[in-house]
Chains A and B, each alone.
Chain A
Amino acid sequence: MSKPADVRRPYVRPMAGWWRRDPFFMRYMLREATAVAVAVYAVVLALGIVRLAQGEAAWNGWLDALRSPWSLLLHAVLLVAMVIHAKSWFDIMPKTMPMILIGGRRLAAQTITRTGWAASVVASIVLFALAWWWGA
């Protein structure tokens, strides 16, 4: 006669919708979704390069398209996505680095994240300043 313990029928629970089960996973999916914005922007730039190669008329057409309300709205969304990407990137950056000891003390994850942010701010200011100077 088989006892209850003899019957092994492991039950596997479905994974569907796993990321909706916890706010942590939702934030992760949002982070991953920023890649779509990066892809869209790469396509926009690539298109610009193609138009530039096609001559002045084509290039001016591309500039006109950038001035349309739809394009402005799109880029506003892309801008928000880029900020979310940058934030989540520097948040996870410490996890990708080995332990760093400075004078016997561990370099804190927070320090690494803040350094990344600072670099981003400096890079943005420098690029903006270059653009300003170039256009002046």
Chain B
Amino acid sequence: MPEPVTTAVKTIRIEVLRYRPEQEDAPVWQGYTVPFTDDMSVLQALQHIKDELDGSLSFRWSCRMAICGSCGMMIDGKPALSCQTFLRDLLPGPVRIEALANFPIERDLIVSVDGFVGKLESIKPYLIPKQPRTLAQGEYLQTPAQLEQIEQYSSCINCMLCYAACPQFGLDPGFTGPGVLALLHRYNADSRDGGRDQRMAVLNAEEGVWSCTAVGYCSEVCPKHVDPANAVNQNKVNSAKDYFLRFVSPRGGRP
């Protein structure tokens, strides 16, 4: 009877920055050896670790398909969604995984998001009608050109990779930040919206657009191609107009 052919299982080394506040004062690196297949994502590697090797490893995830925005983390030093980052692109390893940069680490790969959520709420992220509108008037009509103005900015999945990319947010956590300002722009630029005046205070503050120095890394890392750098920097012009034209006209020169 012929000998069975044994094939070696390919493996990859995963190093994770662990942090358990109840047992250590500072984060520590811990390594694991994970079986490798061509189609595995970093998320799947983490799930293997949790399921088979170390159940204490904590990380956020949900949809596995880059739409929920839960699994953002630093992978080999770059902000990325773990479900959308593949081990085959990180060979031969080791793959170094750390919690999303510029945020306080709660535990392992889980960061504190309270600040971000508060900022989302502060910009009134909903349509504020120009005039009251009844159901009988029917739906708003929008041309393809009007939709074009807002479509990319509406694609944000709140994954916060742009915050991990933004050194100004890292240096000043009070900065409203790329994602929230892009969402602010999404509403201001919507032809159906009339709430611009109510959002100007956020834009005009030092913590608004004026903390941005156009590094541009936020747009590089965005998995949905929202281009927050563009949203923030074009609003510097709007904020400047508001600053100077408020003396000329009470509406700051806005139509």
Contact = CB atoms under 8 A, between A and B. Distances in A.
Q: Do A and B have CB atoms closer than 8 angstroms in the complex?
A: yes
Interface residues of B, number: 34
A132 to B, nearest CB: 36
Contacts of A7: 21-22
Nearest to B101: A13
A95 interface: yes
Nearest to B144: A104
Contacts of A99: 148-149
A24 interface: yes
Contacts of B220: 24
A128 interface: no
Contacts of A97: 234
B236 A18 contact: no
Contact of B77 (A4, A19, A21, A98): A21
B21 A95 contact: no
Contacts of B214: 92, 95-96
A15 interface: yes
B21 A9 contact: yes
B114 to A, nearest CB: 10
B118 to A, nearest CB: 15
Contacts of B27: 11, 13
Interface in A12-56: 12-13, 15, 18-19, 21-22, 24-25, 28, 32
A12 B104 contact: yes
A95 B216 contact: yes
Contacts of A12: 104-105
Contacts of A95: 214, 216, 219, 227, 229-230, 233-234
Contact of B105 (A13, A32, A94): A13
Contacts of A8: 21, 106
B19 interface: yes
Contacts of B144: 104
Contact of A104 (B20, B106, B145, B216): B145
B104 A11 contact: yes
A25 B215 contact: yes
A13 B227 CA distance: 26
A64 to B, nearest CB: 40
Give the most central of B19, B170, B216, B219: most A CB within 10 Å. B216
B234 A101 contact: no
A4 B145 contact: no
Contacts of B216: 28, 92, 95
9 contacts: A4-B20, A10-B105, A11-B26, A18-B170, A22-B217, A24-B215, A95-B229, A96-B233, A101-B148
